[in-house]
Amino acid sequence: MIMPANVKTDKTYPIPDSMKAWVLMEQGELSFSEKPVPMPGKAEVLVRIDAVAICATDLEIIYHGPPALIRGGSPYNKNFTPGHEYMGTVVALGPGVDEFGIGERVTVEIHAGCGQCKRCREGMYTSCHNYGKNYGDVDKGHRANGFTTDGGFCEYQVNNVNTMIPIADSMSDEEATLVVTAGTAMYGLTELGGLVAGESVVVTGPGPIGLLGVAVAKALGAQPVILTGTRDNRLEIGRKLGADHVVNIRREDPVEAVRSIMNGKGVDYVVESSGAAGSFNEAAQMINRGGKICLAAFPSEQVEVDLAHIVRNNIYVYGIRGEGKSATHRAEAFMRQKRFDATLVHTHTFPLAELPEAIRYAKDRVDDAIKVVVKNDRGRDS
């Protein structure tokens, strides 16, 4: 490919004119197509995607549309490529970029805020006031790869330098795709929750965010860490990641179990990552007076909330979207230091060409899939 003169490349990493990319057609229908390789602009790099994990939000986009917003509407039949939890190798530098070098391995965040609105200036770029308003004009407004602009189920993608995190060479491609998931848990606990060592935490829902929420909470010094869920094998993974107690809610009432563990008192924090209809009110019953609830999941329906209980007990409620305030950098540091083994959450790997089968495993939890990763042929082995 012939790049503009102000874009730096290296012959060690030849860049083709076109690439393979999965394109969303009708609901639930993906087509393996050819797309031009995008060019990096100011403050951007071109990333050769080596691996990308499948997130539950990807499934929502593919089968239902929201929260993707392409050209002001649904993502279907708009030549849109989903996928957002990817990592890879820097192969080209846009004008003025010197923060990264060609050949550097990175993992990426989803959101690049506009940098101009009040929230972006506060560092809350996942709450950018211009989210979804740029509709492809990435020079003005928020960019969210896999949501408002093309994502990572392809071979190359451009990323703003603010969204990239260098990763250790000791980290496998699969593990690197989990940094964003760990960063989401980190965001909830350290930025919105303010967790300090010795405080108690309940995590509800042993999905990827919940399991890594356990790991991050324990690495931050939480005591005790309690995980609730319905699947014994996932609860056991939670134990390996640091849970002091696990509660199978099919056999025990979770509120009674938590209060029994806490000698009749509630906990300081609840990270709600299940999205179940009754989980919020259960979280409110688990929390101690003055405690904090972090909502890290999207319920599929409207939920009735006992607001009087929240007010009477001075309970604080926080909603988080994604991995804001550079929490991924801190999560990567914990993973680099082996403070927890995020690879316990990764269960399956497929080549990029087999994305539909990988999605089937993730969607239907085939073979109890938790985190499913697809890899380009050039990616490193685990």
| 3 state SS of 117 | coil
Q: Can you give the pLDDT at residue 190?
A: 84
Give the least confident one: 25-34, 302-311, 320-329, 341-350: 320-329
Query: What pLDDT does residue 381 have?
Result: 56
Q: Which of the given ranges, 118-132, 177-191, 247-261, has the highest pLDDT on average?
A: 247-261
Residue 113 has pLDDT above 60, yes or no: yes
C-beta of residue 159 within 8 angstroms of C-beta of residue 138: no
Average pLDDT of 204-227? 97
| The predicted structure's pLDDT at residue 354 | 98
- Residue with the larger pLDDT of the pair 135 and 257: 257
* Average pLDDT over all residues of the chain: 93
* Band of pLDDT at residue 378, cut at 50, 70 and 90: low
**Which segments of 266-361 are extended strands (E)?**
267-272, 287-295, 316-319, 346-351
Domains of the chain and any CATH numbers: 8-110+145-166+341-375 (3.90.180.10), 181-319 (3.40.50.720)
- Mean pLDDT to the nearest integer, 44-48: 97
Query: Measuring CA to CA, how many Å separate 262 from each of 97, 225, 226, 265?
Result: 52, 11, 10, 5
Q: Would you say residue 377 has pLDDT above 80?
A: no
Residue found under tokens 């239902």: 64
pLDDT exceeds 90 at position 95: yes
Between 303 and 19, name the one with better pLDDT: 19
CA distance 52 to 43: 23
pLDDT of residue 238: 98
pLDDT score, position 322: 84
* pLDDT score of 382 more than 70: no
**pLDDT interval class at 380 (50, 70, 90):** low
Nearest Cα to 305, choosing from 284, 275, 289, 274? Answer: 284
First and final CA of the chain: distance in angstroms?
30
- Residue 191 is predicted with a pLDDT of 77
Gap between the Cα atoms of 245 and 203, Å rounded? 11
State the pTM of this model.
Answer: 0.93
Q: What is the dihedral of CA 68, 358, 54, 330, to 10 degrees?
A: -160
Instruction: Judge whether residue 141 has pLDDT over 90.
Output: no
Q: What span, in angstroms and rounded, lies between the C-alpha atoms of 249 and 229?
A: 6
pLDDT computed for residue 245 by the predictor: 98
Confidence category of residue 88, pLDDT binned at 50, 70, 90? very high
User: Per-residue pLDDT for 236 more than 80?
Assistant: yes
- Return the amino acid letter for 328: T
pLDDT category at 303 given cuts 50, 70, 90 is confident
Helix 279-286, helix 254-261: angle, nearest 10: 20
Which tens digit of pLDDT belongs to each residue from 165-202? 999 999 999 999 999 999 999 999 987 777 889 999 99
How many Cβ atoms are within 10 Å of 78's Cβ, its own excluded? 14
Cβ atoms of 266 and 244 within 8 Å: the answer is: no
Tell whether omega for the bond before 4 is within 30 degrees of 0, i.e. cis.
no
Q: What is the pLDDT of residue 379?
A: 52
Q: What pLDDT is recorded for position 136?
A: 61
pLDDT at 72: 85
Q: Tell me 154's DSSP state.
A: B
Class of residue 235 by CB neighbours under 10 A (exposed 0-12, middle 13-18, buried 19+): buried
